């Protein structure tokens, strides 16, 4: 059982996490949801399309203008409180590596801290424990926040992913984070080249076999773009193909830009696997 906020998700229930960027320079939408009203409209649309989680971020992952902890909090804390007020049942995640920001958003009503930079601030897990919030434990290959990988190498990238993410997850539980609210994330693109991310996808079953629920953040990423030689706005098909493979291998949570399309892929894979009945079954029966 995966338990996040007020929601519980069964072992064969794939979960969509919708990305809501509170940044003026996000790589995908270039700040389309930086202002409050477009961001709230994005949350409403994502929930209507089948997202159970919204992931709110105040700093883009890539290099760019410095964003202080104070500015990150200004972009996220009040918005978390408003989403909590308007959408009491949605699981609110905040994408941050900073413990101080994590504290503030948990106080405002966040249910999950998405630590995309792999425990670079070890106090973040302590915050999650104190608030009984969930935690995403990500492999970033030791990279510092907002840096791009350069000639990174691994003897075995998946072995490194397993060692880091399971270690972070076990530490989180030892601190008091509820075990049923901890996820591991292989960290596609983070501290990895394209071949590393492809291998992490191909061998995702090894992460699933640990027993920790696996989150994948695949949406429109560079490894998809490089594999198919497509710019950001032409990566949906590659993203959905990677999503289908990840679903078949057992990933549980999918962090995405395109909610409706992802929901259809996940429902189709679940039906093929025998975990979901078709929405309609008339063919050959009438």
Q: Residue 260, Cβ neighbours under 10 Å: how many?
A: 14
| CA–CA dist 99, 122 (Å, integer) | 8
Selecting among 60, 171, 221, 252, the annotated active-site residue is: 221
Enumerate residues 6+ apart whose C-beta is below 8 A from 220: 28, 232, 235, 236, 239, 257
Contact 82, 36 (CB under 8 A): yes
Is 255 a catalytic site residue?
yes
| CA–CA dist 118, 21 (Å, integer) | 20
Selecting among 255, 263, 282, 283, the annotated active-site residue is: 255
Contact 166, 201 (CB under 8 A): no
- Beta partners for 185? 138
Is 221 a catalytic site residue?
yes
Helices (H), 21-155: 36-48, 69-86, 99-108, 123-131
Contact 211, 169 (CB under 8 A): no
The pair of structure tokens assigned to 33 is 């949801």
Contact 45, 79 (CB under 8 A): no
Query: Beta strand pairing status for 134-138 and 182-185?
Result: parallel
Query: Beta strand pairing status for 7-9 and 215-217?
Result: unpaired
| CA–CA dist 54, 80 (Å, integer) | 10
Catalytic positions are 221, 255
């Amino acid at each position: 059982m995966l338990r996040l906020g007020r929601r519980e998700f069964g072992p064969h229930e794939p979960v969509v996490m919708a990305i809501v960027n509170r940044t003026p320079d996000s790589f995908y939408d270039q700040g389309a949801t930086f202002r409050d009203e477009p961001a709230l409209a994005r949350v409403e649309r994502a929930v209507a399309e089948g997202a159970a989680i919204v992931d709110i971020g105040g700093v883009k992952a890539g290099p760019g203008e410095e964003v202080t902890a104070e500015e990150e909090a200004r972009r996220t804390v009040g918005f978390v409180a408003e989403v909590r007020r308007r959408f009491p049942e949605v699981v609110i995640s905040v994408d941050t590596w900073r413990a101080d920001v994590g504290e503030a958003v948990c106080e405002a009503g966040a249910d999950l801290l998405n630590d995309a930079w792999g425990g670079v601030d070890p106090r973040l897990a302590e915050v999650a424990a104190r608030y009984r919030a969930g935690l995403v434990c990500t492999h970033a290959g030791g990279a510092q926040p907002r840096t791009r990988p350069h000639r990174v190498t691994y003897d075995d990238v998946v072995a490194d992913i397993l060692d880091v993410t399971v270690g972070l997850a076990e530490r989180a539980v030892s601190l008091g984070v509820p075990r049923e609210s901890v996820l591991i994330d292989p960290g596609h693109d983070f501290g990895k080249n394209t071949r590393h991310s492809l291998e992490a996808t191909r061998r995702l079953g090894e992460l699933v076999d640990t027993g920790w629920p696996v989150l994948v953040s695949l949406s429109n990423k560079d490894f998809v773009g490089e594999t198919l030689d497509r710019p950001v706005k032409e990566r949906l098909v590659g993203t959905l193909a990677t999503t289908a493979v990840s679903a078949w291998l057992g990933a549980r949570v999918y962090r995405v830009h395109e909610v409706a399309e992802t929901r259809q892929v996940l429902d189709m894979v679940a039906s093929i696997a025998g975990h979901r009945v078709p929405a309609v079954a008339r063919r050959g029966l009438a």
